[in-house]
C-alpha cells in the first residue's frame, strides 16, 4: 500500500482520472476532513474503463453525466472498488485544516489465468519512487507466482482428456507473459500508466464539472481504529 497526499490550495487535482495497476483498491481517509472543501473522490459509472475503453476516454474525455461524486464521512471511513476497471479521480483540495491524507491498500485476484493489470513502470514513476534495486525483483516474483500457478494447474488439476490446443495455449500464454516481463525489466519496453486530462471533457464549462451525481456510492460505515 501507499499514502496519497493532497496539499491544500495548489489548484491541482489530488489524482487525475485513471485506472489502477492492481485489481482492487481500498481507500481509507486518515486526515481531518470536517471543514475540507474539495478533495472529493469522483467515479465514472461505467462497468469497464480499462483497455480499449480507456483509450477511447483518452481521446474523447470523461462523460460528465456519468460521473458520481463521493464525499467521505470522516477519518477511518473507506471505499473498496475494482480500481483496475473503474475510472476515478480526486478533485483539488481548496480549503482544509490539513492536507488530505488517504491510505491506499491494493489487492490482486488469486486467479492466475485472468488478465494482469500490473504495470511495472508505475512503481518507478514519480509519486512512488520505489528503489530501482527492489522493483525488478518484486515484479519478477509477482510474474513467477502467476506462471507457477498456471503450471501447477497443468500438474495437479488438468484433466487427462485435455486437448493439445488447451495445453499448448497455457504454455504459450505463460511464455509470452515472461518474455514481455523481461523486456520491461530490461527497460526495452515501457508500460507507463496514462491519465485522462480533466480539461478534456465533453465540452461543458468548468463550473458544471464536479457536481456529478450524488448518492449512489457511499463510504462503508465500518470504521477502522485510528
Q: C-alpha grid cell for residue 193?
A: 500508466
- What would the pLDDT profile of 30-65 be if each residue is shown by its tens digit? 999 999 999 999 999 998 988 888 888 888 889 999
- What would the pLDDT profile of 154-170 be if each residue is shown by its tens digit? 999 999 999 999 999 99
Rounded (10°) angle between helices 135-156 and 164-185: 170
- Which of 62-76, 195-209, 212-226 has the least mean pLDDT? 212-226
| DSSP codes of every residue in 170-199 | HHHHHHHHHHHHHHHHTTSS--PPP-B-TT
H helix runs in the chain, sequence order = 51-60, 135-156, 164-185
| Residue with more model confidence, 202 or 45 | 45
All structural domains of the chain, each given as residue ranges with its CATH number in brackets, are: 2-108+194-208 (2.60.120), 120-192 (no CATH)
Amino acid at each position: 500500500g501507499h499514502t496519497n497526499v493532497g496539499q491544500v490550495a495548489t489548484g491541482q487535482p489530488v489524482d487525475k482520472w485513471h485506472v489502477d495497476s492492481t485489481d482492487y483498491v481500498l481507500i481509507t481517509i486518515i486526515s481531518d476532513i470536517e471543514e475540507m472543501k474539495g478533495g472529493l473522490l469522483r467515479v465514472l459509472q461505467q462497468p469497464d474503463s480499462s483497455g480499449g475503453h480507456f483509450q477511447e476516454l483518452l481521446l474523447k474525455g470523461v462523460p460528465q453525466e456519468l460521473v458520481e461524486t463521493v464525499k467521505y464521512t470522516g477519518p477511518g471511513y473507506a471505499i473498496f472498488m475494482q480500481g483496475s476497471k473503474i475510472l476515478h479521480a480526486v478533485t483539488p483540495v481548496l480549503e482544509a485544516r490539513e492536507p488530505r491524507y488517504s491510505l491506499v491498500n491494493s489487492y490482486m485476484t488469486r486467479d492466475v489465468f485472468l488478465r494482469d493489470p500490473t504495470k511495472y513502470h508505475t512503481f518507478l514513476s514519480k509519486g512512488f519512487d520505489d528503489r530501482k534495486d527492489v522493483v525488478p525483483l518484486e515484479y519478477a516474483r509477482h510474474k513467477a507466482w502467476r506462471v507457477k500457478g498456471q503450471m501447477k494447474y497443468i500438474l495437479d488439476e488438468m484433466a487427462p482428456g485435455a486437448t493439445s490446443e488447451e495445453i499448448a495455449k497455457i504454455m504459450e500464454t505463460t511464455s509470452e507473459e515472461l518474455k514481455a516481463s523481461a523486456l520491461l525489466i530490461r527497460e526495452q519496453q515501457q508500460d507507463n500508466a496514462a491519465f485522462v486530462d480533466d480539461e478534456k471533457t465533453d465540452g461543458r464549462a468548468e463550473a458544471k464539472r464536479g457536481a456529478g451525481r450524488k448518492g449512489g456510492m457511499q463510504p462503508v460505515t465500518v470504521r477502522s481504529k485510528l
